[in-house]
A and B are shown apart, each in its own frame.
Chain A
Amino acid sequence: MKPTQTLLIIGATSDIAVSAAHQFASNGYNLQLAARNKDDLDSMITDLKIRHRVNVSAFQLDILDYESFEQFIDSLTPLPDAILCAVGLLGDQEHAQKDIIESAKIMRTNFEGPSLFLNEIANKLEERGTGTIIGISSVAGERGRSSNYIYGSGKAGFTAFLSGLRNRLSKSGINVTTVIPGYVDTRMTQGLNLPLLLTSSPKVLAYKIYRKMGQSVIYCSRRWYVIMLLIKLIPESIFKKLNI
């Protein structure tokens, strides 16, 4: 039997993170959960422990407070075998494009914070020589569109970061996986009118992440892969006139 593995999840209160926590715990992983407000994790942790009988610990982490990263990473015992970054902030595009503070928060939360954090912890994994980093990006990062480019550009940056990190670490045996979900039925998308055929559940996504971790890029479904491929192929002269 494999020795018990540990997964660190940052942004652990998100619906995708909760589903992933159950998915990994049901396969014997011990969990380290980090969230901006540690107390929010209490009920989730009790539930995980009762259901899966694994070790779960909680940590406070503000993804925008990068000065705290080093201390946080040092406090992790053991250094996790895998890291899942589920941090994300959709925000309100219309509000954000008029409000520089809001835009900055969205961009920083989706790109700067997660990237700086993963870079820090990647150095530790590299020293050790094993590990898997999984970053949840978004189809919104595949091409900027008027309806969500503040969020999308943050995710685009994050996708590029993960790609570069993967390139760098492939020599040292660290896997970096970029997850590119389409619409997922979560609190983040609550109230949005999502097309049923293109929407998946956090549970299904978590299952895919678990099964395919270690691969370079995971699309949530083939449909989304095709859609984004087509969207990327549209010439800019036409694209800029589209209302999407």
Chain B
Amino acid sequence: MKNLSGWGRFPVFSVNETSPSSKSELISLLKERNTKYIARGNGRSYGDSSINQSLTITMTKLNRFIDWNENSGELVAESGVLLSDVIKTFLPLGWFPYVTPGTKFVTLGGAIASDVHGKNHHLEGSFGNYVNWIEIIDETNQVLRCSKTKNTELFNWTIGGMGLTGIITKCCIRLRKVETGWINQRTIVNNNLRETLNSFDDNHDSLYSVAWIDCLSKGKNFGRSLLFTGEHTTLNEVDFTNIYPKARTRMFSLLFDLPSFLLNNFTVAIFNYLYFLKNSRKLNQLVDWDKYFYPLDSIRNWNKLYGRKGFFQFQCILPIDKSYIGFQEILKKVQKDSSGSFLAVLKKFGPGNGNLSFPRPGYTLALDFKATYKNISLARNITDIVKNYNGAIYLAKDALMNEEDFASFINNDLKEKLKLISNKYCSSEQSKRINL
């Protein structure tokens, strides 16, 4: 038995974990097991979606590249390959993932199961849109291949399916041709919530856009933000020899948990003030890919910032027409009741993939909270606001929803369909909690 948690280190479970190193080992393991199980990637989902106490199958040792087509940018790999490995191998050849979440330390299998999104969702959709096919192990321990044209239902439900349709063993993804590893970043200063929401539309054509929002500022600055847009830099815009910079190798590491009192509304307000000041001074910048997409990866275990008891992330989406009023309500609640949210990120989504996949048209807000009773009850209150405005909550971040909460975010037809397609032996602590 081993203690496992998601990236938020809350909640923690004592788990029977195993990590097979080949597909044949995995299949014989599945044949012998007599309990339900869930696959786990690199453990970067925040809550309990990649944990099953009776059997958690960690896939990080199935991490081999299988095929690479240098003309089309198609990569076949085992599901435990990390996005960081993909970048390390293929960026020097001029290729980059189409979609990347805020950390490069996710496995391909995990990225598919959570159908992760990036800063380009409004134009290019989520990770699943760049998956050609998936190989998955079904209830009878047979290996199936599914795609947009073969076993279509299984394919569509596996994307964003939180691992409940079976274990993903391999996949084929497409990469994007890039001329450099640099990003032209622009910063747009928004002074209030209305400006913040509008600035996404004003900058719709930018490939990447995401806003950092100062969730503690009040009065006329309520909802002020910095919108960071980005475009891949073309070759003629860079005049140096370092066209494809490498990932930062010297990573800062927290050796112990910071005392949790260090993060409170006061310190966060100071941080926000300084961050706003610093970034509103440099409006146009050339930034390397690692710094642009993965600022937090530079602290290897930034999840220790929140202290020993861990934290949870709350990420919701609200429909476009409800966003202004809804986020106003949510931010006011946060200002009143929280003990500080260090990170607050807002992003506008385009059309989504449906089924269980999270992204859908609307604005999504992500907040980090220290795992305290006060914050947990705050999260419950915000969940109610999200319900009222017909929003939804991102399963890869969730650690707190109950069955009723989730029932209001998914319609019954969808749930029935999932029952038909899901693997009856797959379940996670999350799927049990919300009766998925």
Contact = CB atoms under 8 A, between A and B. Distances in A.
Interface of A: 15, 43-44, 46-47, 50-51, 187
A47 B22 CA distance: 13
A46 B21 contact: no
Closest 4 CB pairs of A and B: A47-B64, A50-B65, A47-B65, A50-B68
Contacts of B21: 15, 187
A187 B67 CA distance: 26
Contacts of A51: 65, 85, 89
Summarize A's interface: helix, strand, loop or mixed: helix
A43 B80 CA distance: 14
B251 interface: no
Contact of A46 (B22, B64, B85, B89): B64
B262 interface: no
A84 to B, nearest CB: 20
B66 interface: yes
Contacts of B66: 43, 46-47
Nearest to A18: B21
Contact of B89 (A15, A43, A50, A187): A50
Nearest to A40: B22
A47 B68 CA distance: 10
Interface string B58-85: 0000001111100000000000000001
B60 to A, nearest CB: 12
Interface core residue of B22, B67, B89 (most chain A CB under 10 Å): B89
A47 B66 CA distance: 6
Contacts of A46: 64-67
A187 B18 CA distance: 12
6 contacts: A15-B21, A43-B22, A47-B65, A50-B67, A51-B89, A187-B21
Contacts, number: 20
Chain B interface bracket (under 10, 10 to 19, 20 to 34, 35 or more): under 10
Interface of B: 21-22, 64-68, 85, 89
A50 B66 CA distance: 8
B129 to A, nearest CB: 23
Interface core residue of B22, B65, B68 (most chain A CB under 10 Å): B65
Contacts of A187: 21
A187 B89 CA distance: 26
Contacts of B65: 46-47, 50-51
Given A15-B21, A187-B21, 6 more contacts: A43-B22, A46-B64, A46-B65, A46-B67, A50-B89, A51-B89
Contacts of B68: 50
A50 B22 CA distance: 18
B388 to A, nearest CB: 47
Contacts of A44: 64
A54 to B, nearest CB: 12
B88 to A, nearest CB: 8
A46 B170 CA distance: 15
A229 to B, nearest CB: 27
A174 B38 CA distance: 51
B44 to A, nearest CB: 19
A15 B21 CA distance: 10
A12 to B, nearest CB: 14
A220 B378 CA distance: 49
A56 to B, nearest CB: 13
B125 to A, nearest CB: 26
Nearest to B21: A187
Interface core residue of A44, A51, A187 (most chain B CB under 10 Å): A51
Contacts of B22: 43
A51 B67 CA distance: 10
A15 B22 CA distance: 12
Contacts of A43: 22, 64, 66
Contacts of A47: 64-66
A240 B89 CA distance: 53
A116 B65 CA distance: 35
Nearest to A51: B89
A67 B68 CA distance: 39
Contacts of B64: 43-44, 46-47
A66 to B, nearest CB: 29
A187 B21 CA distance: 8
Contacts of A15: 21
A50 B65 CA distance: 7
A15 B65 CA distance: 17
A41 to B, nearest CB: 12
B300 to A, nearest CB: 15
B71 to A, nearest CB: 15
Nearest to B63: A47
A187 B22 CA distance: 11
